[in-house]
Structure 1
Amino acid sequence: MITLKELTNIEELEQLEIIEQNVWGMESLPVHQTLTAVKNGGIIVGAFDSNRIIGFSYGFAGFKDDQVYLCSHMLGIETEYRSKKIGEQLKKKQLEIAQQKGYTEIHWTYDPLETRNGYLNLSKLNGISSVYMENAYGEMKDGLNKGLPSDRFEVHWHITSDHVKNPPVYDNLIFLNSVSNHSQVPVCSQLDDTSLTEAVYAVEVPKDFQRIKNEDKNAALDWRMKTRELFNKLFESGYAAIQLIPGKYTAHYIFVKKDTLKLGGNQK
């Protein structure tokens, strides 16, 4: 049985090191930094199988444009425990603690071509994104990110909003791109719709981007650059990504006008 708990002392925080190394293959965060974060508004949640830590989420206090929010920086789960909804459990526990501390928003980033993350962040948790960050972290050398610009969606999770509690449902999607296969590697073609006047749009992405990176790096870079252009165009036109719907070989994002969403707190 998986249990969750907030981590607040040195002994508990030291347990994060092995997961960081296993998941990202990088040096772990210093305990003096994570300890300082949790003593000053940060939240670290551990997931345990019996007494063994198998996953965690880490967030620290953020401030921008006169707003305080929780910046959720890391979420890692040991390989054998993935696809068991533990990431979702960690985020929901993070939300619970964040509300207790008085936060109304949680922000984090993810690669929009990693559909497992997109499905969790937007479709399961009902976060939204209207910010595209080009090469957000510069050149990254870990196994998941090596070799491509580190583009990211910035997710805003309005944790007290009606959108999170009762997300809208959309149909009649207008796709801004199409996907074809070339030597079993999906290829992106952009469609001509420069006006962006419709209520709802969709952008199709490959379901398994890591496979494309491993098999054809040029195709992976092509996906990065073409979707970068589409996502930036949508965000600049006032749209927000609100869902990711997975299919057999591809997935698609749904975009709607951000000003149509109910993002304020404590709405009835």
Structure 2
Amino acid sequence: MIRELHANEEFEQVDALFERIWGFEPDSRPISAGLMRALTHAGNYVSGAFDGDRMVGASVGFFGQDSTLHSQNTGAAAGRGIGFELKLHQRLWALDRGISRITWTYDPLVRRNAHFNLAKLGARPAEYLPNFYGVMADAINQGDESDRVLAVWPLTDPRVEAAVRRVPYLPAVPEDAVVGLGDDGDRPVEGRTDARVVLVAVPEDIERLRGVDAGAAKAWRHAVRDVLGGLMEEGATVTGFHRKTSYVVERNT
């Protein structure tokens, strides 16, 4: 069951859940139970997913500009489809209030998140944000620069409406597409970016790589920033995520 949260005890449960998921340092929590209380009192979005009485997922969002809800934090037990159900709940909540889109940021190096956001939800990357939060101190991102992609979810777009019916968006890749960034084991390999469609790979498991080879993780961070971030800065459009490995980027000229 997923429902909105309003009680201080519930916000403390969210705080504890996020701590278990991310392993935040005491002074690095991105959001507190007190702030969640203030956000909901002002009409913003905080929800929890429950398995019986046990909270297994939660999401926090606030109103932004131009009829937008910004989803700041969503966390859930892995492998159970809870994150997808939280997004469906968030979408209906927003539509009931006349909100036409939801935005959030995510680490472009995490394959499963890119696949979830672009394929399973039909969101569209809108902006590459280098080191958006500074160097992070939680257990997952420890010591890494916090590059993020701003994802935009247009709630009534046909692509999104199909995705929420569990029809994932899988972009067509033309035969003349080129590899702008490839994956050679744990190391990035830069290629060509001079075609109309460019594929930009990300590592198989950046979180594991941070722990076993910090140099390789840093090389991936800067390679993706240079290639994917560079293409987006030039005005290219990310049209999807291909075979759970690579961004599909289309030049607009």
* Pair in the same fold by TM > 0.5: yes
Pair 1:71-2:99 in alignment: no
2:62 corresponding residue in structure 1: 60
2:234 corresponding residue in structure 1: 237
1:94 corresponding residue in structure 2: 90
2:2 is aligned, of 1, 4, 8, to: 4
Sequence identity percentage: 30
In the alignment, is the contact (CA less than 8 A) between 1:176 and 1:203 conserved in 2?
Answer: yes
CA distance in 2, matches of 1:179, 1:31: 41
Q: Which ranges in structure 2 are unaligned for 5 or more consecutive residues?
A: 163-168
Task: State the Cα distance separating 1:84 from its structure 2 match.
Answer: 1.4
Q: Which ranges in structure 1 are unaligned for 5 or more consecutive residues?
A: 260-268
Q: 2:58 corresponds to which letter in structure 1?
A: F
CA distance in 2, matches of 1:226, 1:14: 39
2:122 is aligned, of 126, 142, 145, to: 126
Q: 1:169 corresponds to which letter in structure 2?
A: P
Q: 1:32 corresponds to which letter in structure 2?
A: G
Q: 2:120 corresponds to which letter in structure 1?
A: K
CA distance in 2, matches of 1:44, 1:242: 30
Pair 1:174-2:172 in alignment: no
- Structure showing the higher strand proportion among its residues: 1
In the alignment, is the contact (CA less than 8 A) between 1:42 and 1:61 conserved in 2?
Answer: yes
1:115 is aligned, of 75, 92, 111, to: 111
CA distance in 1, matches of 2:110, 2:36: 27
1:25 corresponding residue in structure 2: 23
CA distance in 1, matches of 2:13, 2:222: 38
After superposition, what is the alpha-carbon deviation per residue over 1:76-101, rounded to whole angstroms, capped at 9, x for unaligned? 12xxx311111111111111111111
Task: State the Cα distance separating 1:223 from its structure 2 match.
Answer: 0.5
Secondary structure of the residue aligned to 1:15 is helix
Alignment size in residue pairs: 241
Secondary structure of the residue aligned to 2:64 is strand
| Higher mean C-alpha deviation, range 29-38 or range 48-57 | 29-38
Off by >6 Å, runs of 4+ in structure 1: none
Task: State the Cα distance separating 1:206 from its structure 2 match.
Answer: 1.4
Q: 2:248 corresponds to which letter in structure 1?
A: I
Change (3 A) 1:202 1:11: same
Task: State the Cα distance separating 1:5 from its structure 2 match.
Answer: 1.0
CA distance in 2, matches of 1:36, 1:47: 20
CA distance in 2, matches of 1:223, 1:113: 8
In the alignment, is the contact (CA less than 8 A) between 1:175 and 1:201 conserved in 2?
Answer: yes
In the alignment, is the contact (CA less than 8 A) between 2:178 and 2:192 conserved in 1?
Answer: no
In the alignment, is the contact (CA less than 8 A) between 2:238 and 2:248 conserved in 1?
Answer: yes
Change (3 A) 1:241 1:132: same
Task: State the Cα distance separating 1:168 from its structure 2 match.
Answer: 7.0
Pair 1:254-2:248 in alignment: yes
In the alignment, is the contact (CA less than 8 A) between 2:128 and 2:233 conserved in 1?
Answer: no
In the alignment, is the contact (CA less than 8 A) between 1:207 and 1:246 conserved in 2?
Answer: no
2:165 corresponding residue in structure 1: none
Pair 1:187-2:187 in alignment: yes
CA distance in 1, matches of 2:119, 2:240: 5
Q: 2:72 corresponds to which letter in structure 1?
A: H
1:219 corresponding residue in structure 2: 216
Q: 1:191 corresponds to which letter in structure 2?
A: G
Q: 2:136 corresponds to which letter in structure 1?
A: M
After superposition, what is the alpha-carbon deviation per residue over 1:123-176, rounded to whole angstroms, capped at 9, x for unaligned? 100101131111100111111111211101111111122332355731223221
Change (3 A) 1:258 1:117: farther
Task: State the Cα distance separating 1:258 from its structure 2 match.
Answer: 7.2
Q: Using structure 1 for the length normalisation, give the TM-score.
A: 0.83
Q: Using structure 2 for the length normalisation, give the TM-score.
A: 0.88
| Higher mean C-alpha deviation, range 238-247 or range 51-60 | 238-247
